[in-house]
Amino acid sequence: MDPLFVQVDPRDNVAIIVNPEGLPTGARFANGLTLQEPIPQSHKVTLRDLSEGAPIVRYGQIIGHLSRALPAGAWVREDVMDLPQAPALDELPLATAPPAPLPRLEGYTFEGYRNSDGSVGTKNILGIATTVQCVAPTVDYAVRRIRQEILPRFPNVDDAVAITHTYGCGVAIDAPGAAVPIRTLGHLSRHANFGSAPLVVSLGCEKLQPARMLPGASLQASKGGEFPILEGNPYVIRLQDERGFGATVSAILHYAEKRLEELNRRKRVPCPASDLIVGMQCGGSDAFSGVTCNPAVGYAADLIVRAGGTVMFSEVTEVRDAVHLLTPRCINEDVARALIGEMRWYDEYLARSGADRSANPTPGNKRGGLANVVEKALGSVAKAGTSALHAVASHGEKVSTKGLIFAATPASDFICGTQQLASMNMHVFTTGEGSPYGLALCPVVKVSSRTALAEKWHDLIDIDAGTIATGQATIADVGWELFRFILDVASGRRKTWADTWGLHNALAPFNPGPVT
Ligand code: CA
């Protein structure tokens, strides 16, 4: 491959190296630029001579200032860049430039499971919710037995999944932050892919009682070996009411079989693409992420929005430094204020814990050429596409609006995914460094930023967006490929690699509240 760089915006004074092995001193680009030193793939090169203190511009935005002068063709390392302040939250433009609605996209459908509450599932799963970590090993044991002994008799059901977590007791459950994990777990327990009221396993003495996790539900409880009729309501098995481990497992198996009979009758039906609720997230990002996979995901996001569906983007700390690009895009000032409110809440949360702005990015991000959180954020928000921002959901809230939504979550991959599961029926995950991440509750489509990763991890990466950097494909090509892949996976016609291997990360609800 000839020496190749990618410049994102004509205003940029740095670009990133495309060649997989990096480039040596003296490598000459088509425009005559010559490297002064070796530069690894995905790291930044200066496009012209820059003086000390000069702004470093990428994505048309300032990502830092140079601490010393650099000639054209030099490697812009993290240690020659300062970290700019995050945009002040008091001076942001509110809904000043909401984009016009994108042209409607008609006729795209997928085969999903329509539920009585109108929600649509993309999988057919028996879900067993838990209120507290104390019961998790018991439920995991029961789920192993269900998979081996009962599930094979119900061929229309994909899996049995325990919703286990570390929350539920030893926590200040009335502290303000407790609302976040509690509502997350409530929404997870009623996930669209479970298709009906959940089976709940409780210990008995825990802080998070079933009625608190499922407010408004008509709960039925076990009575030590008696089996009342289910009648479509959440059913609770309380371990401390049962006569030992064997009796508890028998009760779980008994109700699991009744649920499986119901679930096995579910049928996939044609659903418009507007029933998609897709959560977008990145993890293990590199400097290509903002050039290849994230813009392709953004293109697919626009297609989903045009088809009337819902797209969520999240990860507060990776939106914070690009928030000035998003507040003008809100459909009204209330949405812009809600977005700023989520940024402010997280600023205060981080400040309380003494975290500084270098807490994100990771060592892997830096190895991949991302110098700081500003550069990471500018690439990250490309996942949001170009449509107007329609609504903001707070941590763990269920999204009910169509269009593009900011759903506040931490950037941590497994916490973000868990929080987005409160709403989503499909998940898209972009990566540059590589992550085998997956979720049991809903399919996770993995998109790589570089072809080298897609080739190395040929049995983990579903879509390669690296072809955008080499010019073999356009952002639109990969965006359409991803959109069609999402429809196929949501229909059960194709499987993601994560589901092929059963790579399902543990759930990790965000708990900003105190532990006792
Ligand atoms: Ca993430």
Nearest-angstrom CA–CA distance, 247 and 254: 10
Residues 133 and 57 in one domain: no
Residue 27 lies in a domain: yes
pLDDT, tens only, 372-430: 999 999 999 999 999 999 999 999 999 999 999 999 999 999 999 999 999 999 999 99
CATH number of domain containing 7: 2.30.130.110
Residues 382 and 339 in one domain: yes
Residue 479 lies in a domain: yes
Residue 97 lies in a domain: no
Number of alpha carbons in the 13 Å side-chain half-sphere of residue 176:
3
Structural contact between residues 308 and 274, judged by C-beta atoms closer than 8 angstroms: yes
Nearest-angstrom CA–CA distance, 467 and 451: 6
Label residue 223 by pLDDT band (50, 70, 90): low
Structural domain of residue 183, as residue ranges? 125-263
pLDDT, tens only, 19-28: 999 999 999 9
C-alpha 44 – ligand 1 centre gap (Å): 23
C-alpha 448 – ligand 1 centre gap (Å): 14
Residues 198 and 259 in one domain: yes
C-alpha 33 – ligand 1 centre gap (Å): 35
Residue 515 lies in a domain: no
C-alpha 9 – ligand 1 centre gap (Å): 25
Residue 507 lies in a domain: no
Identify the pLDDT of residue 232: 63
Residue 359 lies in a domain: yes
C-alpha 413 – ligand 1 centre gap (Å): 4
pLDDT, tens only, 284-329: 899 899 999 999 999 999 999 999 999 999 999 999 999 999 999 9
Identify the pLDDT of residue 219: 82
pLDDT, tens only, 235-284: 899 999 999 999 999 999 999 998 999 999 999 999 999 999 999 999 98
Residues 282 and 229 in one domain: no
C-alpha 390 – ligand 1 centre gap (Å): 22
Peptide bond into 215 cis (omega under 30): no
Q: Name the pTM for this structure.
A: 0.94
DSSP assigned state of 153: G
CATH number of domain containing 130: 3.40.1400
pLDDT, tens only, 428-481: 999 999 999 999 999 999 999 999 999 999 999 999 999 999 999 999 999 999
Burial of 22 (0-12, 13-18, 19+ CB in 10 A): middle
C-alpha 117 – ligand 1 centre gap (Å): 30
Residue 224 lies in a domain: yes
Identify the pLDDT of residue 103: 96
C-alpha 421 – ligand 1 centre gap (Å): 14
Q: Both tokens of residue 467?
A: 């072809």
Residues 383 and 461 in one domain: yes
C-alpha 431 – ligand 1 centre gap (Å): 9
39: left (phi over 0), alpha (psi -120 to 50) or beta: beta
C-alpha 428 – ligand 1 centre gap (Å): 11
Number of independent structural domains in the chain: 3
Nearest-angstrom CA–CA distance, 101 and 105: 11
Residues 259 and 276 in one domain: no
Residue that terminates a domain, selected from 263, 278, 293? 263
Nearest-angstrom CA–CA distance, 432 and 450: 6
Residues 294 and 387 in one domain: yes
